[in-house]
Structure 1
Amino acid sequence: MGRPAVGTAPRRCTGCGGYEYGGAPACDVCRALVDGVVEEGWAEFARDFGEEADEEELAALVAAEPDRHDWRVLDGALDRLVCTGCGGRLGRGPVGCGPCDLAHGFRYVALEPDRPGVPPGNEHAVRVNVSVVRRPHVTSENELLLRRSALPGLLAGLLPTTEEAQRFAAVARRVPWPERAAAVEELVEEMFRRCREEGSLRAGEE
Structure 2
Amino acid sequence: MYAHPAPAKPCATCGDLTGRCYPSCPGCASAVDGPWLSAWTLLPDPDPEQVADAPSGDYPWTCVDWALRKLRCQGCGGELAAGAPDCVGCAAASSARWELATSTPHEHVLRTAVVALRAPTWHRQAVVSTWRLLLPFVVAGAVPSVAELREVRTQVLAGRYAELAGLETLPLEVPLLPWRRSTVQGELHPEPDQHGTG
Q: TM-score of the superposition, structure 1-length normalised?
A: 0.69
Q: Which amino acid aligns with 2:138?
A: L
> For 1:191, what is the secondary structure of its paired residue?
coil
Work out whether 1:111 is the aligned partner of 2:101. Answer: yes
**Larger deviation: 95-104 or 67-76?**
67-76
Q: Which residue of 2 aligns with 1:181?
A: 162
Aligned to 2:11: 13
Q: Which has the higher helix share?
A: 1
CA–CA distance in structure 1, aligned partners of residues 86 and 148 of structure 2: 34
Q: Kindly state the Cα deviation for residue 131 of structure 1 after the two structures are TM-superposed.
A: 0.6
1:69 and 1:111 in contact (8 A); partners too: no
Identity among equivalent pairs (%) = 24
Q: 2:180 aligns to what?
A: none
Question: Which of 156, 167, 170 matches 1:190?
Answer: 170
Residue in 2 that maps onto 1:63: 53
Question: Is the Cα contact below 8 Å between 1:132 and 1:147 reproduced in 2?
Answer: yes
Post-superposition Cα deviations, 1:54-100, rounded to whole Å, max 9, x if no partner, equal x43x6424433234433211111112333221233321211122211
Equivalence map 1:8-157=2 (5 Å): 8-44=6-42, 46=43, 49=44, 53=45, 55-56=46-47, 59-114=49-104, 121-157=105-141
Is the contact made by 1:63 and 1:77 (CA closer than 8 Å) also made in structure 2?
A: no
TM-score where L is the length of structure 2: 0.71
Moved segments of 4+, more than 4 Å = none
Q: Structure 1 residues 19, 109: closer, same or farther in 2, change over 3 A?
A: same
Give 1:118's aligned residue. Answer: none
Number of equivalent positions: 170
1:130 partner amino acid: V
What runs of 5+ residues in structure 2 fail to find an aligned partner?
Answer: 174-198
* Structure 2 counterpart of 1:171: 155
> 1:33-66, CA deviations, whole angstroms, 9 ceiling, x for partnerless residues?
434442222112x1xx2xxx3x43x642443323
1 CA distance for matches of 2:147 and 2:51?
A: 42
- Contact 1:10-1:156 at 8 Å conserved across structures: yes
SS at match of 1:66: coil
The whole-number CA distance in structure 2 between the counterparts of 1:184 and 1:167 is 14
Corresponding residue SS for 2:95: helix
| SS of residue in 1 equivalent to 2:20 | coil
Kindly provide the amino acid, as one letter, of the partner of residue 98 in structure 2: Y
What do the CA deviations read for 1:121-163 (whole angstroms, capped 9, x no partner)?
A: 2221111001111112222221111112211222222112455
Consecutive unaligned residues in structure 1, runs of 5 or more: 1-5, 115-120, 194-206
Question: 1:2-44 CA distances to partner (integer Å, 9 max, x unpaired)?
Answer: xxxx944321012332211122245343244434442222112
Task: Point out the more displaced range, 34-43 or 11-20.
Answer: 34-43
**Counterpart contact for 1:68–1:111, Cα < 8 Å:** no
Greater relative contact order structure (CA < 8 Å, 6+ sep): 1
Cα distance in 2 for partners of 1:128, 1:99 equals 20
Larger deviation: 159-168 or 130-139?
159-168
